[in-house]
């Protein structure tokens, strides 16, 4: 242990910790923009500067290790002057498009400007004429808002896609897609997830959804994914992980959606379909093994572009929101006596790649898309905030009664390993001759759980030993490809952790 002082308070810390980590552990606020726990420390934004007694210069807290005997000031006059100037210079790189920004109610940069009373217009915007790069209909990078932190570059590199590059030098440097035609965006949205200022973000569809809701000729319905119910509350100050299922139902109805469905129901359809196909492949000799999951559209985009030879291995099961949309426009519409052409289905998911997936020409019903629009969790939060709804105090609503809320298998579907575990449970039941629904002993496949980049295990299913693998993050796909033939079933989720 080492001993130091922060703002006059004696602190004990572990060797190897940064000043930023030590300060935050002990309740001292040091602002940051480019710092992200997933990424390497880059110290690009320079707003985490601190003063060390006896030193002539300031230090970036994120990149400076705490040392024994240091006497640190986080808010001295020198720190305030440098921090405020650096924030003003950041705003000179970031064209203020707040009125139309999906992050305007949850903008860390604006929060810092308010907290430190920054004159955001002191310097003129130097990037106002930069272009916006759009990737499919899923994500985009607005060069006029980019602050050159480099987070999107590193996030893309961690995925081993490397589709982005820093072009130019000094004041002319710019994030842009590479010219190499052998590389392509897979729409995973990791760039948007790690961007601190929404320069990289989803291509929003909330505007089109608002127009649809205003069109009285259309019956606009919503369906939301499992992750939404536990992440949406964070935008409204609720404790991370809070189950907001009931409040989400209420919020969507108050926004004007006539009916609201739980995508868990669609996850169960996908599970059953995938389990049946797995059993068929295991019994047959002509179908490709291993069978590989296909519910992650970013992974499918990756396979189609980088490894088209893997396409026969992909299961034919559609992703949960596509399956449930089909059930809504076919079965539910028929039961309700509604013309499916009047129904507009809006999916709310944590995934930018679902926007790309919903627009695929193969996924249509009677010539129209199964899913008409896709909103991210952030877009839904924006719509709720713009409407002025008090989300925390909304009553607990309920979903469409014709469909159930899904099984326990559906609830784990979004997490890494969840797709495989839910399908293996059903496949075990089928192989045991249990199509009639007889209750079986609880089945758990704990070996496929967790956040390791690649998980491998051998399980016994219907008396046969199967080798299974779970790829957690597309950057880890290389760990299984060289030995793919030794597996029977492989799950791939492009985003680390799954659909969270």
Residues 6+ apart with CB under 8 A from 165: 153, 175, 176, 177, 178
Q: Mean pLDDT across the stretch 467-486?
A: 95
* Whole-number Å distance between alpha carbons of 342 and 334: 12
pLDDT at 277 over 60: yes
Is the pLDDT reported for residue 441 higher than 80? no
423 Rama class: left (phi>0) / alpha (psi -120 to 50) / beta: alpha
Among 195-209, 245-259, 332-346, 452-466, whose mean pLDDT is lowest? 452-466
Give the mean pLDDT of 125-151: 93
Per-residue pLDDT at 129: 85
Q: How do 58-60 and 71-73 pair as beta strands? A: unpaired
% of the chain exceeding 90 in pLDDT = 78
The answer to whether 195 and 35 have CB atoms below 8 angstroms apart is no
Q: Residue 342: which residues within 8 A CB-CB, separation 6 or more?
A: 217, 218, 219
Cα(88)–Cα(394) distance, rounded to whole angstroms? 38
The kind and range of the H/E element at 23 are helix 19-25
pLDDT for 434 equals 53
Q: Looking at residue 498, what DSSP letter applies?
A: B
* d(C-alpha 398, C-alpha 259), whole Å: 10
| Confidence at residue 228, expressed as pLDDT on a 0 to 100 scale | 95
What confidence tens digit (pLDDT) does each residue in 289-326 have? 999 999 999 999 999 999 999 999 999 999 999 999 99
DSSP-derived pairing of the beta strands 368-369 and 364-365: antiparallel
pLDDT for the residue 423 = 84
Q: Does the pLDDT value for residue 410 go beyond 60?
A: no
Tell me the pLDDT of the chain averaged across its residues: 92
How far does CA 36 lie from the centroid of its chain? 15
Burial of 397 (0-12, 13-18, 19+ CB in 10 A): middle
Model pLDDT, residue 158: 97
Round to whole Å and give the CA distance between 377 and 367.
28
Q: Facing residues of 140 across strands? A: 134, 201
| In the predicted structure, residue 161 carries a pLDDT above the cut 70 | yes
Place of tokens 């970013």: 298
CA pair distance 113, 93, nearest whole angstrom:
14
Query: Could you give the CA distance from residue 462 to residue 327 in angstroms, rounded to a whole number?
Result: 31
pLDDT for 407: 65
Mean pLDDT within 463-473: 91
Q: Is the pTM of this model over 0.85?
A: yes
Q: How confident is the model at residue 419 (pLDDT cuts 50, 70, 90)?
A: confident
pLDDT tens digits for 36-52? Answer: 999 999 999 999 999 99
Mean pLDDT of 473-483: 96
pLDDT score, position 136: 96
Phi, psi dihedrals of residue 95, rounded to the nearest 5°: -60, 125
> Is 133 buried (19+), middle (13-18) or exposed (0-12) by CB count in 10 A?
middle
Q: Percent of the chain at pLDDT above 70?
A: 95
């Amino acid at each position: 242990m080492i001993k130091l002082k922060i703002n006059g308070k004696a602190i004990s810390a572990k060797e190897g910790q940064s000043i930023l980590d030590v300060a935050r552990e002990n309740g001292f606020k040091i602002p940051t923009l480019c710092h992200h726990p997933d990424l390497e420390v880059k110290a690009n934004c320079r707003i985490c500067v601190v003063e060390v007694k006896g030193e002539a210069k300031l230090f970036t807290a994120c990149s400076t290790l705490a040392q024994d005997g240091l006497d640190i000031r986080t808010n001295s006059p020198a720190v305030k002057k440098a921090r405020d100037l650096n924030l003003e210079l950041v705003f000179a790189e970031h064209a203020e498009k707040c009125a139309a920004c999906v992050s305007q109610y949850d903008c860390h940069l604006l929060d810092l400007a308010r907290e430190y009373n920054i004159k955001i217009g002191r310097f003129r915007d130097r990037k106002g004429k930069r272009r916006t790069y759009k990737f499919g209909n899923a994500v985009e990078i607005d060069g006029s808002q980019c602050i050159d932190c480099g987070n999107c570059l590193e996030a893309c590199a961690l995925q081993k896609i490397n589709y982005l590059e820093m072009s130019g030098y000094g004041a002319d440097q710019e994030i842009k897609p590479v010219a190499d035609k052998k590389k392509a965006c897979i729409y995973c949205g990791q760039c948007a997830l790690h961007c601190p200022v929404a320069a990289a973000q989803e291509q929003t569809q909330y505007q089109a959804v608002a127009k649809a809701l205003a069109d009285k000729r259309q019956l606009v319905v919503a369906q939301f994914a499992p992750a939404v119910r536990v992440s949406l509350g964070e935008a409204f100050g609720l404790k991370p992980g809070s189950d907001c299922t009931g409040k989400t139902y209420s919020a969507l109805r108050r926004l004007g959606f006539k009916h609201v469905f739980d995508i868990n129901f669609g996850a169960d359809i996908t599970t059953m379909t995938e389990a049946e196909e797995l059993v068929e492949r295991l019994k047959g000799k002509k179908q490709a093994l291993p069978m590989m999951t296909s519910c992650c559209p970013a992974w499918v985009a990756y396979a189609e572009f980088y490894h088209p030879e893997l396409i026969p291995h992909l299961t034919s099961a559609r992703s949960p929101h596509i399956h449930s949309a089909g059930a809504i426009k076919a079965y539910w519409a028929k039961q309700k006596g509604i013309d499916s052409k009047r129904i507009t289905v809006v999916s709310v998911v944590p995934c930018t790649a679902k926007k790309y997936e919903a627009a695929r020409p193969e996924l249509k019903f009677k010539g129209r898309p199964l899913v008409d629009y896709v909103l991210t969790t952030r877009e839904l939060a924006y719509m709720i905030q713009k409407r002025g709804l008090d989300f925390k105090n909304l009553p607990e609503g309920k979903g469409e009664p014709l469909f159930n809320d899904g099984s326990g298998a559906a609830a784990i579907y979004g997490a890494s390993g969840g797709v495989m575990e839910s399908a293996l449970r059903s496949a075990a039941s089928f192989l045991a001759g249990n199509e009639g629904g007889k209750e079986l002993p609880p089945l758990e496949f704990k070996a496929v759980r967790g956040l390791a980049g690649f998980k491998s295990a051998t399980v016994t299913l219907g008396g046969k030993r199967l080798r299974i693998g779970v790829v957690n993050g597309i950057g880890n796909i290389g760990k299984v490809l060289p030995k793919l033939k030794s597996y029977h079933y492989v799950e791939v989720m492009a985003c680390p952790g799954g659909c969270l």
